[in-house]
Every structure is written in C-alpha cells, then in structure tokens.
Structure 1
Amino acid sequence: MHMLYNSDSFTVVQIDLPPEASAAPDADSRGGYEIVDKFARKEIFIHGVLAQSFKSGVEALIRSEPSEDEIDDFIEGFTSLLQQPLVLH
C-alpha cells in the first residue's frame, strides 16, 4: 500500500495485491486505487480497466506540473462513483 496523494479534499492510495495462486505465472497483480473524498466521507476501490484509465489520466496530468487544485479537479471526476461510506477503525 502506497499513499500517492493527500490533500485537504482527497487521499489516493495504491494497493498492490499479489496474483492469485491459480493465475498464470505472468499474470498482473490484482491491485488498484482507493480514492477517499474527505468532505463527503466516502470512498471507492477501483481496479481493472477503470484503474488503468485513472493511472493514464494521472500520468498525463503530472506531465503538466499541475497545482493541487488541478489534481483535486481530476480526482473529483471520479466522485460520482463513491458509494461506500468511510468508516474509521
């Protein structure tokens, strides 16, 4: 687990899970990204094609040396997917 981004509004964590034991030896990890909206107190774990899309968008954004507001605006594009209430243990 690696924290990739943390602002007043959002936290993004990359989570890497090892391939399943029954998967082919060259299978990719089953990881993804957890996105937390601190104000809405909701979160989501994205993986697969959606995670690849998120990663590509972030990589393109980083090349332009964005401000924190620009990064938050990009992440905000995923907030409509946030359904899981944030629960702290």
Structure 2
Amino acid sequence: MQMLYNSENYAVVHFEVDVAAPTGFPMLPDMPEGIALTRGGYEIVDKHARREIFIEGALAEHFKEGVQALISASPSDEDVDDYLAGYTVLAQQPVVLH
C-alpha cells in the first residue's frame, strides 16, 4: 500500500498484492512453478462527499496512463483534483471509520 496523492479534497492509495501462482492449474500448463503474479488497484477517496472507489484491471490501467500524462504537464493541485473528480463520480461506497 502506497499513498500516491493527498489533498484537501482527495486521497489516492495504490495497492499491490503479490499472489502465488497456482500449481498444477490445467488452464496454465506453460506457467513455471513459483512465478509471482501481481494484483492490485487504486483506491480514490472523495473527502468532501465521504465516498470512495476501488478500481482495478483495465480501468486502473487507464487511470494510471491518465495520471502519467497529467504529471508530464506539471499540473497544479486543482488540475489533479479535476482529473480525480472524473473517477469519484463513480464512487458509491461510503467511507466509514471504525
């Protein structure tokens, strides 16, 4: 887990989990034993709306590419927040503290 961005409005955390490859799995006959797979995604929290979203897979790759393009343009905090707002529109999970 790595905090990537934290502003007054949003927080972004990257999760990356190493998963052991299954052994003797019939759909993966050419996969060497002991290979490490990676699985993860991004959690984006809208602090004002108190909502969060976890994205993974193709959507996470699209998010990552967009962030990289944004960073290459030396964005302001407002630019980054505007980009994140496009993803938090999808957020349905309330943020709950316990």
Q: Output aligned runs, 1:9-48, within 5 Å.
A: 9-22=9-22, 24=31, 25=35, 27=37, 29-48=38-57
| More strand as a share of residues | 2
How many residues align? The count is 88
Equivalent pairs: percent with the same residue? Answer: 53
1:88 aligns with 2:88: no
Shift in Å, 1:19: 2.1
What TM-score comes out, normalization by structure 2 length?
Answer: 0.83
Give the gaps of 5 or more residues in structure 1: none
Deviations 1:4-42 (A, max 9, x none): 000000000001111244285263x11100000000000
Structure exhibiting the larger radius of gyration computed from Cα positions: 2
Name the CA distance, whole Å, in 2 between partners of 1:80 and 1:71: 15
Distance across 1 between alignment mates of 2:20 and 2:41: 15
Q: Does residue 49 of structure 1 match 2:58?
A: yes
Q: Tell me if structure 1 keeps the 8 A contact 2:18–2:36.
A: no
Are 1:77 and 2:83 counterparts? no
Q: CA deviation at 1:81?
A: 1.1
TM-score scaled to structure 1, two decimals? 0.91
Corresponding residue for 2:71?
62
